């Protein structure tokens, strides 16, 4: 009887230690729960990866968050921070709202929330290790952004 009891206990213990895969919601993939920083690894525009072309893009960081705590409502916010390396004097940080719908992400300002217009991008890949979004795929005006998790300092 003891060997059977030990075998059952061993089975219970090992099944409790199994690795379980958790599927994140789409917003949590982008925001990491509340806010997540991503390195803009590729900024592809009209056949050129401008991230590789100009060093000033190499430290650009994107932040996807579920909202700024100082606002009345938590509305998802996207920030593109230019950081230390600026391409020109007019190279500024960008702050937009975003919404996710199926395989698209829409970026816009406050008006996007009331009149529904904004810049629509396709979500080609959305995983915790990489996000790829694109516009006008396969045309001369193709635009693609690839984000990878920002490395810890």
- Asked if 37 and 150 count as a contact pair (C-beta separation under 8 A), the reply is yes
Residue 91, in any domain of the structure: yes
Predicted confidence (pLDDT) per residue in 33-73, tens digit: 899 999 999 989 888 888 777 777 778 899 999 987 777 77
- pTM (two decimals): 0.78
Cα(89)–Cα(18) distance, integer angstroms: 54
Predicted confidence (pLDDT) per residue in 80-135, tens digit: 888 778 877 777 888 888 989 899 999 988 666 667 678 899 999 999 999 999 99
Residue 121, in any domain of the structure: yes
Q: Which domain holds residue 70?
A: 25-149
Residue 19, in any domain of the structure: no
CATH number of 89's domain: 2.40.128
- Asked if 119 and 133 count as a contact pair (C-beta separation under 8 A), the reply is no
pLDDT of residue 22: 62
């Amino acid at each position: 009887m003891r060997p059977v009891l030990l075998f059952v206990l061993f089975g219970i213990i090992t099944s409790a230690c199994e690795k379980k895969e958790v599927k994140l919601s789409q917003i949590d993939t982008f925001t990491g729960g509340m806010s997540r920083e991503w390195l803009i690894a590729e900024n592809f525009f009209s056949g050129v990866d401008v991230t590789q072309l100009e060093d000033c893009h190499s430290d650009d960081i994107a932040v996807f968050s579920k909202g700024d705590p100082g606002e009345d409502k938590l509305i998802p916010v996207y920030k593109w921070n230019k950081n230390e390396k600026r391409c020109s004097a007019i190279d500024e940080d960008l702050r937009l709202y975003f919404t996710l719908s199926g395989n698209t992400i829409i970026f816009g300002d406050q008006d996007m929330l009331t009149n529904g217009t904004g810049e629509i991008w396709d979500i080609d890949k959305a995983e915790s290790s990489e996000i790829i979004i694109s516009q006008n795929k396969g045309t001369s005006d193709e635009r693609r952004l690839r984000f990878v998790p920002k490395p810890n300092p």
